[in-house]
Amino acid sequence: GNGLFTYDPGFVSTAACESKITYIDGANGILLHRGYPIEQLAEKSDYLEVCYLLLNGELPTAEQKEKFVNTISNHTMVHEQLSQFFKGFRRDAHPMAIMCGVVGALSAFYHDSLDINDPHHREVCAYRLIAKMPTLAAMCYKYSIGQPFMYPQNNLSYGENFLRMMFGTPCADYEVNPVLARAMDRIFILHADHEQNASTSTVRLAGSSGANPFACIAAGIAALWGPAHGGANEAVLNMLDEIGDAENIPEFIEKAKDPNDPFRLMGFGHRVYRNFDPRAKVMKKTCDEVLGLLGIENDPQLQIAKQLEQIALEDEYFVKRKLYPNVDFYSGIILKAIGIPTNMFTVIFALSRTIGWISHWNEFHSSPNKIGRPRQLYTGEQQRDYPA
């Protein structure tokens, strides 16, 4: 305690929560999903297999995977009425604002017959969300550019389907670039889950009241939007734009170190990692691969990002505070190379993280549970009387 207050043992028990899904060792830069290192999953697995793993706890057999992929493919269409929701937004509405609204609206389409205490009902919620998030995300983009919504194609892979819904039009066949589809799938894997981060904790807390799971996911989307969290990937590209040229890097490093300047080095630092974020390492490798295959390895923003990283990693301020690049530092450069606009970056993060959110929601409801009630340390006034 701090002399004023004494911690009661219950404080820690209600503050911490138990989970079997993801393990992070921040000091050593380790991230495991159901025991498997993220580096191995990124290299050898694919996003839908990682979804199955996060949700069920084990990698699927070939037969289980085929059944799971078919189930997801056959849930990718959204109710036709949902397209009406987009029409209420201005064309320049931020896609994350639209996603908060439209994903929340899904709760109106699946609620009457939903029994969250039935494991099969919970499983179907997960399938619907994994399947429909790419469709809704692509609809946000199409709406913003005034193009017609594209329907999913069940014969395409998850990544291919998303790219075709984003960049295809009814006027011509869309040729999916396998390099971009693989890069998209890799990005989905790297953002899939991350233990009790702000947005996942939001989903678990909302879920603990028994709220509709689609509404809980909408709450997670809202929490992720902040620039200190999932919004950082969009903020990194805006920062690289603002830096503009490598010669301006020292000025921005100084700004980031100035306690009186609110500017932070976007894509750097983490509440848990006091070492390299293992996802950032894979993301940097993927960035080099993808931009190399696209013949744009000399992309000026990639060059600035690499120099910024190098200077920051050698600067005493960042070294002393153990600040390293996080998952958001390189992801935006790959997304931009794929052709995705900056204001859609956090939507991609939300799409990818939906499996993490719904796996934690499902885990919470899979065992006896109580409504969440974070404890507080009261530091306000002692009791006093109203003036006579």
> If binding is defined by CB under 6 A, does position 267 make contact with ligand SDX?
yes
> CB count, 10 Å around CB of 347?
28
Q: Is residue 191 flagged as an active site residue?
A: no
User: How many residues belong to the site for ligand SDX (CB under 6 A)?
Assistant: 22
Q: Which of 33, 270, 360, 365 is catalytic?
A: 270
CA distance 255 to 295: 33
Q: Which of 229, 315, 360, 365 is catalytic?
A: 229
Q: Within its chain, how far is the Cα of 349 from the centroid? A: 3
Q: How far is the CB of 244 from ligand SDX (least distance, A)?
A: 19
Where do the H-state alpha helices sit in the chain?
Answer: 9-15, 38-44, 47-56, 62-73, 82-87, 95-109, 119-145, 158-167, 178-190, 198-207, 213-224, 232-243, 249-257, 278-293, 300-314, 316-320, 328-338, 345-365
Q: Which stretch binds ligand SDX (CB under 6 A): 77-85, 99-107, 146-154, 256-264?
A: 256-264
Among 35, 271, 300, 375, binds ligand SDX (CB under 6 A): 271
Taking CA 349 as the corner, what is the angle to CA 52 and CA 338, rounded to the nearest 5 degrees?
105
Q: Is residue 25 flagged as an active site residue?
A: no
Strand 30-33 to 22-25 pairing? antiparallel
Residue 32: both structure tokens together? 């495991």
Among 132, 186, 229, 360, binds ligand SDX (CB under 6 A): 229
> If binding is defined by CB under 6 A, does position 228 make contact with ligand SDX?
yes
Closest CA to 214 of 86, 127, 106: 106
Q: Which stretch binds ligand SDX (CB under 6 A): 47-55, 173-181, 245-253, 323-331?
A: 323-331
Q: Which stretch binds ligand SDX (CB under 6 A): 155-163, 177-185, 258-266, 297-305?
A: 258-266
The residues, any chain, with a CB within 8 Å of residue 243's CB and separated by 6 or more, are 249, 252, 304, 308
> If binding is defined by CB under 6 A, does position 323 make contact with ligand SDX?
yes
> If binding is defined by CB under 6 A, does position 152 make contact with ligand SDX?
no
Among 51, 69, 232, 308, binds ligand SDX (CB under 6 A): 232
Tokens 């070492």 belong to residue: 275
Query: Looking at beta carbons, which residue is closest to ligand SDX?
Result: 269
CA distance 305 to 311: 10
Q: How far is the CB of 267 from ligand SDX (least distance, A)?
A: 5
Contact (CB, 8 A) for 136 and 102: yes
Among 76, 144, 212, 326, binds ligand SDX (CB under 6 A): 326
Among 266, 304, 333, 338, binds ligand SDX (CB under 6 A): 266
Among 33, 34, 186, 194, binds ligand SDX (CB under 6 A): 194
> If binding is defined by CB under 6 A, does position 321 make contact with ligand SDX?
yes
> If binding is defined by CB under 6 A, does position 278 make contact with ligand SDX?
no
Q: Which stretch binds ligand SDX (CB under 6 A): 89-97, 211-219, 227-235, 238-246?
A: 227-235
> If binding is defined by CB under 6 A, does position 357 make contact with ligand SDX?
no
> If binding is defined by CB under 6 A, does position 269 make contact with ligand SDX?
yes
> If binding is defined by CB under 6 A, does position 264 make contact with ligand SDX?
yes
Closest CA to 189 of 71, 74, 307, 47: 47
Tokens 């006896």 belong to residue: 368
Q: Which stretch binds ligand SDX (CB under 6 A): 53-61, 104-112, 147-155, 270-278?
A: 270-278
The residues, any chain, with a CB within 8 Å of residue 326's CB and separated by 6 or more, are 232, 267, 268, 269, 270, 273, 277, 279, 280
Of the two residues 122 and 270, which places its CB atom closer to ligand SDX in the complex? 270
Of the two residues 264 and 285, which places its CB atom closer to ligand SDX in the complex? 264
Strand 36-37 to 22-25 pairing? unpaired
Q: Is residue 328 flagged as an active site residue?
A: yes
Q: How far is the CB of 264 from ligand SDX (least distance, A)?
A: 4
> CB count, 10 Å around CB of 104?
19
| Catalytic center residues | 229, 270, 328
Would you tell me which residues interact with ligand SDX (CB under 6 A)?
Answer: 194, 197, 228-230, 232, 256, 259, 264-272, 321, 323, 326-328
